[in-house]
A and B are shown apart, each in its own frame.
Chain A
Amino acid sequence: MRGCHPRCDRGEVDIIGPSEGLVASSILAGRTSLAPFLAAGKLCSNVSWGCPQLQMTSPGLTTIASASSRHADEPRLRGDLAIWFIIALEMLTFGVMFVSYAFARSVDLALFNASQATLDLRAGALNTVLLLTGSWCVARAVHALRADASRNGARWLAAAIACGLGFMVSKGAELGQKFAAGIDMSTNTFYMFYVMLTAFHFMHVAAAVVLLVIVWTQARRGAYADGNMHTPETVAAFWHMVDLLWIVLFPLVYVMR
């Protein structure tokens, strides 16, 4: 999209609205209708696209955003800023817990090694694969929705939800097994951390799955498209954070022994 400068040839009218950037890619892909959204800029009856690679005109009412040619290349934080503050907070909280665990372990190695022996490495590995695959599905879903392929996007979201549910079943079974064996947070220092970390993380996976379900129901109705990706991107960021936390948690608790 570099160097594409839209120019209105006739019928230019100013409109006021929230700016979201331009769907130049959809124009070049041959679509004649744009995703409905308001752009701070102008309505134009005939837009000329002066691109080095391509000269074309779009007759009919078209929305163009001001400075649209710059939007595609500007650095963007995907998703609502609020979710990024939440992500920062969660990273801080879990970060403190991870480091506390590591230092608690270093002063009571024998206890930790003995208790860690009761953990199932393979179950942890399965959980890792489920979350990573879920993340891939979420990334794929975002790409699909951005390319205005709603149905595909919904399918990828459904796959991600399945991965999340798989994780919850697996992790739920693991925790249930521990509780049934009489283990809880007060058993010893290792188990205190183990229960705290895995249960707290579990709740975040559950929250992420709920958010994915909400986005999935909307995606199925075609609610999302390029220029209207704020909610899917926000939820995607949260999901990826949950995966990112597990990436540290798994080796720390299940492998380092």
Chain B
Amino acid sequence: MHLQRIDMVWLGLLAATGVTVALGEAGVVHGHAWALLTIFALVLLKGAWIALDFMELRDAPPLWRRLVLGWLVLVVALIVLAWALTLRV
């Protein structure tokens, strides 16, 4: 069975999850900005994969693709902003 794009996407999603969980388990998230930013960069990557390849928005009219990806970017940006506020504590 030859691998299709959606198979590669699934493997990529699992790999990204592995990295996220490893960072969590290593306890480096608290106090290390790079770890947290990596995790949320992966959220963007995973979200984009699901939106573009699983939801098939890659071949959809631009409006809906932009809405879903835009939501992802906005929500993650606000979460990271809220987290950044805690850095002053």
Residue pair B79, A99 in contact (C-beta under 8 Å): yes
Q: How many A residues are at the interface, by size bracket?
A: 35 or more
- Across the interface, do B14 and A106 meet the contact criterion of CB distance under 8 Å? no
Q: Is A198 engaged at the interface, CB distance under 8 Å to the other chain?
A: no
| Bound Cα distance from A241 to B71, whole angstroms | 12
The number of residues on chain B lying at the interface, defined by a beta carbon within 8 Å of a beta carbon of chain A, is: 49
Which of A109, A233, A243, A248 is most buried by chain B, counting CB atoms within 10 A of its CB? Answer: A248
Residues from chain A with Cβ under 8 Å of B64 in the complex: 77, 84
Q: Are A75 and B62 neighbours in the complex by a CB distance under 8 Å?
A: yes
Instruction: Tell me how far the C-beta of B61 lies from the nearest C-beta in chain A, rounded to whole angstroms.
Output: 5
Q: Could you tell me the distance between the alpha carbons of A248 and B55 in the complex, rounded to whole angstroms?
A: 16
Decide if A257 touches B29 in the complex (CB within 8 Å).
Answer: yes
Q: For the complex, what is the distance from the CA of A75 to the CA of B29, rounded to whole Å?
A: 41
B55 touches A237 (CB 8 A): yes
Main SS class of interface, B:
helix
Please name all residues of chain B whose beta carbon is closer than 8 Å to the beta carbon of A122 when the two chains form the complex: 21
B54 contact from A91, A138, A254, A255, Cβ within 8 A: A138
Q: Does A247 have its Cβ within 8 Å of any Cβ on chain B?
A: yes
The residue that B50 contacts in the complex, of A76, A103, A233, A240, with Cβ under 8 A, is A240
Please state if A132 and B47 are interface contacts (CB–CB under 8 Å).
no
B21 x A256 contact (CB < 8 A)? no
A109 and B89 contact, Cβ closer than 8 Å, known pairs A75-B59, A95-B75, A132-B14: yes
Complex contact A247–B50 (CB within 8 A): yes
In the bound complex, residues from chain B placing their C-beta under 8 Å from that of A87 are 68
Docked CA distance A165–B79 (Å): 30
Q: Which residues does chain B contribute within 8 Å of A5, judged by CB atoms?
A: none
Bound CA–CA A231/B34 (angstroms): 43
Residue in contact with A244 in the complex, picked from B42, B50, B86, CB distance below 8 Å: B50
> Which residues of A are found within 8 Å of B25, using beta-carbon distances?
121
A110 nearest CB across to chain B (Å): 9
Closest-CB distance, A170 to chain B (whole angstroms): 15
Contacts of B83 in A (CB 8 A): 102, 105-106, 256
Q: Using a CB-CB cutoff of 8 Å, which residues 30-89 of chain B contact chain A?
A: 30, 36, 39-40, 42-43, 46-47, 50-51, 53-57, 59-62, 64, 67-68, 71-72, 74-76, 78-79, 81-83, 85-86, 89
8 closest Cβ contacts across the A-B interface? A102-B82, A136-B10, A255-B24, A102-B79, A125-B21, A139-B6, A106-B85, A99-B78
